[in-house]
């Protein structure tokens, strides 16, 4: 009769291989990760294609693709995730362009809630961007007091994060100037626009030139990019 230790020794390599395959780094573990990666790759393709449509001014098509990417990200990551917050933000932006203001407010609020409570805290540019998005919607709805309060929150974060001489701060002043103008306060509007102009002069012109060049290059390749992404889906 074979010794029990001999039997264990014979089974050992097979058992070890099976255990290794089932481990996170083994075959089964890799297969699980691959299954998780496949939908995320598709979500990423939807996102890239939506961004292209958005820049082409095709907001309805962009919104549909953002929603597809959002559904996959929620299924994989759950509601409280950076990607989900970003997709809510993008959907809010295109909803605003489509004149769906109430929907845009709800989406910006969802984005803001995730960014404040889960991801960034209050002093983060993404939070400022969410405030800015909400402000723009309220401004379009004619609710200028609400818009100004949110523009001021966005401005305070941008100054704290970037300093007073950053072009993001200039953009916040422009938003406030627009709100004051629509509210009929031309003096305050002019003051905000003058501050914005000062910020643009103080901002890093090298960075601005680089951003402008990148934007031109991106616009020239939009249709090529869209064709490649559609092919990948």
Half-sphere CA count of 232, side-chain side, radius 13 A:
16
Length of the chain: 233
Average pLDDT along the chain:
77
Contact between residue 159 and residue 195 where contact means Cβ atoms under 8 Å apart: no
H helices present in 98-185, as ranges: 101-114, 125-140, 144-162, 167-182
Q: What is the pLDDT of residues 114-162, one digit of tens each?
A: 999 886 678 888 999 999 999 999 999 999 899 999 999 999 998 888 8
Instruction: Output phi, psi for 24, to 5 deg.
Output: -55, -30
What is the pLDDT at residue 204? Answer: 52
Identical fold for domains 38-121 and 144-215, yes or no, is yes
Class of domain 38-121: mainly alpha
* pLDDT class of 20 with cuts at 50, 70, 90: very low
Round to whole Å and give the CA distance between 44 and 50: 10
Distance of CA 4 to the CA centre of its chain: 61
Contact 134, 105 (CB under 8 A): yes
Task: Output the pLDDT for position 120.
Answer: 63
- Domain ranges for the chain, please list them: 38-121, 144-215
Query: What CATH code is assigned to 144-215?
Result: 1.25.40
pLDDT tens digit sequence for 76-115: 999 999 999 999 999 999 999 999 999 999 999 999 999 9
Of 6-20, 34-48, 73-87, 166-180, the range with the highest mean pLDDT is 73-87
């Amino acid at each position: 009769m074979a010794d029990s230790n001999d039997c264990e020794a014979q089974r050992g390599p097979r058992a070890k291989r099976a255990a290794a395959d089932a481990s996170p780094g083994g075959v089964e573990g890799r297969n699980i990760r691959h299954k998780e990666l496949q939908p995320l790759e598709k979500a990423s393709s939807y996102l890239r294609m939506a961004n292209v449509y958005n820049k082409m001014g095709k907001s309805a098509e962009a919104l549909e693709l953002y929603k597809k990417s959002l559904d996959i990200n929620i299924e994989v990551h759950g509601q409280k995730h950076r990607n989900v917050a970003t997709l809510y933000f993008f959907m809010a932006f295109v909803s605003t362009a489509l004149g769906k203001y109430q929907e845009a407010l709800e989406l910006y609020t969802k984005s803001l809630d995730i960014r404040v409570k889960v991801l960034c805290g209050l002093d983060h540019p993404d939070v400022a961007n969410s405030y800015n998005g909400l402000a723009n919607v309220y401004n379009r709805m004619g609710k200028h007091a609400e818009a100004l309060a949110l523009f001021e929150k966005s401005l305070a974060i941008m100054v704290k994060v970037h300093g007073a001489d950053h072009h993001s701060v200039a953009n916040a002043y422009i938003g406030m100037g627009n709100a004051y103008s629509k509210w009929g306060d031309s003096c305050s509007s002019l003051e905000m626009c003058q501050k914005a102009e000062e910020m643009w002069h103080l901002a890093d012109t090298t960075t601005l030139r680089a951003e402008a060049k990148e934007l031109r290059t991106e616009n020239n390749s939009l249709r090529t990019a869209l064709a490649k992404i559609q092919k990948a889906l």
